[in-house]
């Protein structure tokens, strides 16, 4: 019984070697891919719990591979980036990654992020409503399905956890730090760009007009709030 | 008509005396021709012949000028009196009516000569102005459209002299403080005058030396001054010339400033590209080392096998970092144009295999076929630099061809060179890019963003090949893919081994 199946995608064989060694020692099952294309094939063919995806690869780069994997799967994705610039992180998260690690990284940090990504938010699945009807949006929590005006989308696990946490505390502003720690894990707290990106993605999926949100509201400098209309 | 033709024919010799003599002859000939016409050929009355003389005088006046016309007038009066006014054959005049006729004729012809000579002078002036304008236009084209050169002020000075045909000219450029001379005749002791004119912005004319010095300024700012000997230009033309030089020099200054800014910007951009690429190159082994060491430090339960694996990786990647540092230093040396060859005699195998070994951890199961023909001589080469050059070609082949596709290395002899080629099965190199890819920092516009590198690799390889007296060429294989060939000359002494 493995702790999880992880796909390591990096064009640098030595980096794959280190990660494979560490992961196998921790009881994970590790598979490797040398390029974005190969990663895409493998995630389509097999079932993985998490993908470690390098951003700088020849051919199809990490960002494009991330978007492609995300379009067909809700597997957890951690991006490995070289540059530590804000725009690169946002770009990675926008492409559908759940988290990122900047190279060079310490293995303990990477392992902690892997655990965080694999951990589901500590909200009991039967807590809160199973199904929410908003004006034109319908959210079904057990199947993680959202339909807006009849258009069906699925939430990724992190999006699902985030929305679920907000919905179980309706009409109350949740501070950034609390939200990050509840959804990502106790090591997090400062990564405001995560919230910005994920809230944006959620708005695109559940708001009738994402530019003028009605449900997922921002309280500037404080946090986010889910405005739940009176349920019948 | 005869007289006009004669004078045109005689006009060609340039000497001043010749011109005077030929005009004298022409004037006499004209008068003589009319006299002959009146006395020998047809008999016409005195009034008519008077008009004929008048026409002759007018023709002379429009053709040459007032002096010739005056001479012609007096000759005509004498001939008119002698041949036509009674008593014919003498200069005596009996009838007072003929006195009146003679003086009326003289007055008419003198006034008419003066008028037509003045008209001719006006025409000549207009022609001169037109010629000046044409020259100024030619000059403005020549200096405004000319390509940038090392010394634009010198070029302007030369162009002005050529186009206006001045014997000597000196242009003072007060921004650089330089004086540019042009022309076969020297202008001695002019430097101080030029500076003074530029400062005071006041023209100086020295008629004794036939020299004019004009200031050049633009919107009240002094730019320099121009000394010209043998000026034949009108004042407006001189002013226009001064303005043209001012505008051109200003334009050159602006262009130079813009070029400097552009060069600075480009060099900044290159630096940041290079730094990005270097950061990536160095961060890859660092990442592996950091990941392995942090794992070793944090994991007390790690098994002996895992520990060994991680330590091996650290060891290998430390070597790679070492190579990267050496390469970066070599790169900087090559950049600075300082390549020092440590030449030894090597077999082609000995040159190729270090590069192949270095690539081993990166080829990832790709087939790298090596085909070295049997009869190759030893090559005098720097083994380390050749490893670098071949590494760049192999690295290039790996980067720009699909993962898993094979790479072929061949070596063969062609006349006085040994040619080592690296072929890949990538998209190949488009014809118009084949020379550009060897430029420093050039990366094909089609390069995927995530292919790492500073665009230095091929430039380095080429520099190394050239330092060996060789070259690198690229072509596309008939079957597809690029083929880079590095040719190294076979030394004479080792060609016989």
Note down the domain range covering B156: 147-260
> In this complex, do B317 and A34 lie within 8 Å of one another by their Cβ atoms?
no
**SS3 label, residue A56:** coil
Q: Pick the last residue of a domain from B260, B281, B310.
A: B260
The enclosing H or E element of B362 equals: helix B348-363
Instruction: List the Cα angle A169/A174/A180 in 5-degree steps.
Output: 110
User: Scanning the structure block, which residue is given the tokens 């974005």?
Assistant: A36
The verdict on B325 and B196 lying in the same domain is no
User: d(Cα A117, Cα A120) in Å, to the nearest integer?
Assistant: 8
The verdict on B269 and B251 lying in the same domain is no
> In this complex, do A106 and B313 lie within 8 Å of one another by their Cβ atoms?
no
Spell out the residues 6+ positions from residue B73 whose beta carbon is closer than 8 angstroms to its own: B57, B106, B109, B110, B113
Residue B49, Cβ density class (10 Å: 0-12 exposed, 13-18 middle, ≥19 buried)? buried
Which of B278, B281, B284, B311 to mutate to test binding with chain A, by most A CBs within 10 Å of its CB?
B284
Beta bridge partners of A77: A51
Residue B140: inside a domain: no
The verdict on A107 and A150 lying in the same domain is no
The verdict on B103 and B165 lying in the same domain is no
Spell out the residues 6+ positions from residue B90 whose beta carbon is closer than 8 angstroms to its own: B82
The verdict on B7 and B60 lying in the same domain is yes
> In this complex, do B292 and A107 lie within 8 Å of one another by their Cβ atoms?
yes
> In this complex, do A104 and B287 lie within 8 Å of one another by their Cβ atoms?
yes
pLDDT at B274: 65
B290: nearest CB among A25, A35, A104: A104
Residue B230: inside a domain: yes
Buried/exposed code over B160-170 (b: 16+ C-beta within 10 A; e: otherwise): bbebbebebbb
Sign of the alpha-carbon torsion through B7, B13, B14, B17: negative
Spell out the residues 6+ positions from residue B135 whose beta carbon is closer than 8 angstroms to its own: B163, B164
Say if A59 is an interface residue toward chain B (CB within 8 Å).
yes
Counting one residue from chain A and one from chain B, the pairs whose CB atoms sit within 8 A come to 99
Start-end of H helices in B213-234: none
> In this complex, do B291 and A18 lie within 8 Å of one another by their Cβ atoms?
yes
pLDDT at B3: 40
pLDDT at A231: 57
The verdict on B247 and B353 lying in the same domain is no
Strands A29-33 and A5-9, sheet pairing: parallel
Give the sheet arrangement for strand B471-476, strand by strand. Answer: B368-372, B407-414, B417-423, B482-489, B471-476
This model of the complex carries an ipTM of: 0.70
Say if B158 is an interface residue toward chain A (CB within 8 Å).
no
Give the count of domains, chain A: 2
Which of A56, A82, A104 to mutate to test binding with chain B, by most B CBs within 10 Å of its CB?
A104
Strands B368-372 and B407-414, sheet pairing: parallel
Residue A5, Cβ density class (10 Å: 0-12 exposed, 13-18 middle, ≥19 buried)? middle
Residue B496: inside a domain: no
The verdict on A113 and A142 lying in the same domain is no
The verdict on A161 and A79 lying in the same domain is no
Per-residue confidence in pLDDT tens, chain B, 497 aa:
334 333 444 444 456 778 888 888 888 888 888 888 888 777 777 778 888 888 888 888 888 878 888 888 888 888 888 888 777 778 777 778 878 888 888 888 888 888 888 888 888 888 888 888 888 888 888 877 766 666 778 888 888 888 888 888 888 888 888 888 887 777 777 888 888 888 887 888 877 778 888 888 888 788 888 888 877 778 888 888 888 888 888 888 888 888 888 777 776 776 666 677 677 778 888 999 999 999 888 866 668 888 888 899 999 889 888 877 877 777 777 766 667 788 888 889 998 998 888 777 666 678 888 898 888 888 889 888 898 889 889 988 888 888 788 899 999 988 888 999 999 988 888 877 777 777 765 666 555 544 555 566 787 888 888 888 899 988 888 888 899 999 998 865 444 43
Note down the domain range covering A167: 131-226
| Number of other residues whose CB lies within 10 A of the CB of residue B414 | 10
Window A:101-160, CB contacts with B under 8 Å: 103-110
CATH code of residue A93: 3.40.50.2300
Q: Nearest residue of B to residue A10 by CA position?
A: B284
| Number of other residues whose CB lies within 10 A of the CB of residue A122 | 10
> In this complex, do A25 and B294 lie within 8 Å of one another by their Cβ atoms?
no
The verdict on B125 and B37 lying in the same domain is yes
Give the count of domains, chain B: 4
Report yes or no: A65 and A36 within 8 Å, Cβ to Cβ. Answer: yes
A13-17, A218-222, B442-446: range with lowest mean pLDDT: B442-446
Say if B360 is an interface residue toward chain A (CB within 8 Å).
no
The verdict on B244 and B370 lying in the same domain is no
Cα-Cα-Cα-Cα dihedral of B14, B17, B23, B27, to 10°? -170
The CA distance from A83 to the nearest CA of chain B, in Å, is 9
The verdict on B241 and B294 lying in the same domain is no
The verdict on A94 and A143 lying in the same domain is no
Where does the pLDDT of residue A8 fall: very low under 50, low under 70, confident under 90, or very high at 90 and above? Answer: very high
Among B391, B265, B269, B267, CA closest to B331:
B391
The CA distance from B313 to the nearest CA of chain A, in Å, is 7
Among B47, B38, B39, CA closest to B97:
B47
């Amino acid at each position: 019984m493995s702790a999880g199946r992880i796909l390591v995608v990096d064009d640098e064989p030595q980096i794959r070697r280190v990660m494979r060694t560490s992961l196998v020692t921790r009881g994970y099952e590790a598979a490797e891919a040398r390029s974005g294309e190969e990663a895409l094939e493998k995630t389509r063919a097999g079932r993985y719990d998490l993908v470690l995806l390098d951003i700088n690869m020849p051919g199809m780069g990490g960002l494009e591979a991330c978007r492609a994997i995300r379009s067909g799967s809700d597997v957890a994705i951690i991006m490995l980036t070289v540059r530590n610039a804000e725009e690169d992180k946002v770009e990675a998260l926008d492409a559908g990654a759940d988290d990122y690690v900047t190279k060079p990284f310490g293995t303990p940090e990477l392992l902690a992020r892997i655990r965080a990504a694999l951990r589901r938010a500590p909200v009991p699945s039967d807590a809160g409503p199973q199904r929410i009807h908003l004006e034109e949006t319908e959210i079904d929590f057990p199947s993680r399905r959202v339909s807006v005006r009849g258009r069906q989308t699925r939430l990724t696990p992190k999006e699902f956890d985030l929305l679920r946490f907000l919905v179980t505390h309706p009409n109350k502003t949740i501070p950034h730090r609390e939200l990050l720690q509840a959804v990502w894990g106790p090591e997090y707290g400062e990564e405001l760009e995560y919230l910005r990106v994920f809230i944006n993605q959620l708005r695109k999926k559940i708001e009738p007009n994402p530019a003028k949100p009605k449900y997922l509201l921002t309280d500037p400098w404080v946090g986010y709030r889910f405005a739940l209309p009176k349920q019948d | 008509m005869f007289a006009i033709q004669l004078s045109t024919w005689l006009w060609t010799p340039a000497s001043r005396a010749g011109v005077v003599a030929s005009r004298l002859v022409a004037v006499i000939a004209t008068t003589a021709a009319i006299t002959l016409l009146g006395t020998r050929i047809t008999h016409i009355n005195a009034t008519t012949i008077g008009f004929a003389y008048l026409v002759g005088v007018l023709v002379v006046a429009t053709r040459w000028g007032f002096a010739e016309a005056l001479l012609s007038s007096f000759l005509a009066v004498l001939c008119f009196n002698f041949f036509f006014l009674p008593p014919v054959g003498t200069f005596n005049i009996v009838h007072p009516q003929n006195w009146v006729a003679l003086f009326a004729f003289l007055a008419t012809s003198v006034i008419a000569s003066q008028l037509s000579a003045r008209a001719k002078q006006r025409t000549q002036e207009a022609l001169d102005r037109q010629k000046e304008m044409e020259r100024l236009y030619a000059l403005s084209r020549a200096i405004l459209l000319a390509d940038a050169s090392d010394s634009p002020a010198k070029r302007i000075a030369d162009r002005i002299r050529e186009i206006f045909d001045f014997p000597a000219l000196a242009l003072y450029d007060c921004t650089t403080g330089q004086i540019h001379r042009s022309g076969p005749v020297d202008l001695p002791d002019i430097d101080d005058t030029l500076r003074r004119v530029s400062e005071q912005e006041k023209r100086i004319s020295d008629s004794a030396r036939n020299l004019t010095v004009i200031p050049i300024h633009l919107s009240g700012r002094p730019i320099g001054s121009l000394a010209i000997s043998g000026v034949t230009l009108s004042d407006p033309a001189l002013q226009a010339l001064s303005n043209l030089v001012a505008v051109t020099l200003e334009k050159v200054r602006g262009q130079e400033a813009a070029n400097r800014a552009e060069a600075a910007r480009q060099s900044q951009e290159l630096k940041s590209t290079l730094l990005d690429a270097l950061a990536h190159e160095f961060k890859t082994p660092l990442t592996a080392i950091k990941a392995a060491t942090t794992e070793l430090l944090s994991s007390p339960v790690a098994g002996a096998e895992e520990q060994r694996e991680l330590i091996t990786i650290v060891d290998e990647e430390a070597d790679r970092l070492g190579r990267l540092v050496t390469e970066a230093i070599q790169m900087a040396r090559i950049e600075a144009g300082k390549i020092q060859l440590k030449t030894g005699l090597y077999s082609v195998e000995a040159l190729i295999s270090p590069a192949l070994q270095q690539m081993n951890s990166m080829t990832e199961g790709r087939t790298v076929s090596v085909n070295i023909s049997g009869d190759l001589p030893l090559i005098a080469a720097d083994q380390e630099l050749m490893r670098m050059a071949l590494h760049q070609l192999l690295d290039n082949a790996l980067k720009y061809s699909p993962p898993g596709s094979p790479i072929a290395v061949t070596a063969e002899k062609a006349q006085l060179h040994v040619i080592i080629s690296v072929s890949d099965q990538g998209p190949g190199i488009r014809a118009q890019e084949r020379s550009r890819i060897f430029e420093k920092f050039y990366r094909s516009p089609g390069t995927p963003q995530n292919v790492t590198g500073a665009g230095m690799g091929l430039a380095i390889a080429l520099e190394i090949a050239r330092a060996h007296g060789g070259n690198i060429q690229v072509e596309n294989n008939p079957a597809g893919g690029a083929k880079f060939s590095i040719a190294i000359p076979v030394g004479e002494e080792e060609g016989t081994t």
